[in-house]
């Protein structure tokens, strides 16, 4: 577990030391607490909340207010881990001023850094945010916010796609990003990126040769019955919660819950008072 609050520069120091970085998404208080106590380095309030918390089919309907709402729960856990908040679709692409203002809103609500999807086309916005004092994490490879154009498939299949990933990552580093997420690309590409960049390359679905890994909380603990193919499930929480709820319903039906441990009874004196009150009420009603 980190001994003090993590900052973006600590991520760079971890890369230099050769210590791999562990990140997970978090969207509420207890998720953040559990992950922080387990020793996670970074928590991402991802726009994946649209799918795994709100049940949307994509991240597109997610707004800045929704991210702020979930960020508050994470911040209230007071984690030592670095809190990165995702900038949702169209909160940073349009112009630099809007990007800075929206990123500032996330920082104002307690994020330590923000994350943006994309590469070459958003470099001026990334520079503007960093110039305003806001640490930025990049995100290349599969960008779910751009899935309407290119789908949700593996990235880096041809020369153009490979070049775009490398050029984007290098420009993001040059603009001042402190770290880059690489999603769903070939492991060889991610390995080269991790070698080329001096900032940490944090992978999801992009192989083991990275400076760190990130998974979506619900995929990791098995709360999402349809996780992406690259996610590892460490627990089948969906089944465990379902079994617990079935037991609860069954115990209510059988009268087994609540049992002695879960309710309180009056002592003799209390019973006498109760009878007096009830009898008084009965007489008053006659």
Q: Please, is 257 exposed, middle or buried when counting C-beta atoms within 10 Å of its C-beta (0-12, 13-18, 19+)?
A: middle
Least separation in angstroms between CB 117 and ligand KIV: 7
CB of 267 to ligand KIV, least distance (A): 54
How do beta strands 82-86 and 113-115 pair? Answer: parallel
Per 3-state DSSP, the chain is made up of helix, strand and coil in percentages (nearest 5) of 50, 15, 40
Q: Smallest gap, in angstroms, from Cβ of residue 65 to ligand KIV? A: 16
CA end-to-end span of the chain: 68
What mask, x for binding ligand KIV by CB under 6 A, covers residues 182 to 211? Answer: -x--------------------x-------
3-state secondary structure of 72: helix
Residues 154 and 98 sit within 8 Å (Cβ to Cβ):
no
Q: Give 36 or 47: the residue with its C-beta nearer to ligand KIV.
A: 47
Compute the distance between CA of residue 102 and CA of residue 96 in angstroms, rounded to an integer.
10
Q: Which of residues 1-30 bind ligand KIV (CB under 6 A)?
A: 25
Nearer to ligand KIV, 52 or 75 (CB): 52
Q: Give the count of alpha carbons within 13 A of 108, CB side only.
A: 11
Of these residues, 121, 173, 183, 269, which one is catalytic? 183
Spatial CA neighbour of 112 closest among 36, 190, 213, 194: 36
Q: Is 48 in the site for ligand KIV (CB under 6 A)?
A: yes
Residue 47 binds ligand KIV, judged by CB under 6 A: yes
| 110 to 149: interface string for ligand KIV, x by CB under 6 A | -----------------------------x----------
Reading the block at residue 244, the tokens are 């617990």
> 184 vs 186, which CB is nearer to ligand KIV?
184
Q: Distance between CA 44 and CA 24 in Å, rounded? A: 6
The contact pattern for ligand KIV, residues 147-166, with x = CB under 6 A and - = no contact, is: --------------------
In the numeric block, which tokens belong to residue 187?
A: 């492991």
| Residues belonging to the chain | 286
- One of 86, 105, 112, 219 touching ligand KIV (CB under 6 A): 86
- Is residue 248 within 8 A of residue 59, CB to CB? The reply is no
Q: Which is nearer to ligand KIV, 25 or 185 (CB)?
A: 25
Clarify whether 268 is annotated catalytic: no
Which of these segments, 9-17, 39-47, 74-82, 156-164, binds ligand KIV (CB under 6 A)? 39-47
- Residues that bind ligand KIV in the complex, under the rule CB under 6 A: 25, 44, 46-48, 86, 139, 181, 183, 204, 214, 216
């Amino acid at each position: 577990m980190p001994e003090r609050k993590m900052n973006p520069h600590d991520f760079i120091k971890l890369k230099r030391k050769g210590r791999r970085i562990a990140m997970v998404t978090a969207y509420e208080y207890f998720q953040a607490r559990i992950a922080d106590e387990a020793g996670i380095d970074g928590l991402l309030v991802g726009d994946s909340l649209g799918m795994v918390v709100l049940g949307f089919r994509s991240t597109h309907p997610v707004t800045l207010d929704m991210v702020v709402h979930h960020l508050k729960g994470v911040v209230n856990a007071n984690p030592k881990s670095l809190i990165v908040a995702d900038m949702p679709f169209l909160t940073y692409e349009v112009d630099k001023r809007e990007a800075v203002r929206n990123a500032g809103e996330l920082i104002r609500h307690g994020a330590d850094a923000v994350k943006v999807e994309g590469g070459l086309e958003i470099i001026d916005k990334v520079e503007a945010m960093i110039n305003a004092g806001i640490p930025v994490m990049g995100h290349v490879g599969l960008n779910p916010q751009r899935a309407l154009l290119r789908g949700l498939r593996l990235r880096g299949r041809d020369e153009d796609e490979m070049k775009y990933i490398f050029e984007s990552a290098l420009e993001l580093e040059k603009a001042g990003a402190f770290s880059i997420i690489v999603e769903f690309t070939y492991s060889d590409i991610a390995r080269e990126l991790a070698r080329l960049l001096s900032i940490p390359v944090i992978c999801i679905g992009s192989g083991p040769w990275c400076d760190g890994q990130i998974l979506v909380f619900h995929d990791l603990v098995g709360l999402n019955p349809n996780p992406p193919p690259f996610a590892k499930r460490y627990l089948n929480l969906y089944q465990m919660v379902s079994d617990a709820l079935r037991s609860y319903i069954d115990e209510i039906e059988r009268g087994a819950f609540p049992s002695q441990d879960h309710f309180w009874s009056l002592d003799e004196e209390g019973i006498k008072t109760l009878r007096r009150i009830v009898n008084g009420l009965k007489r008053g009603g006659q």
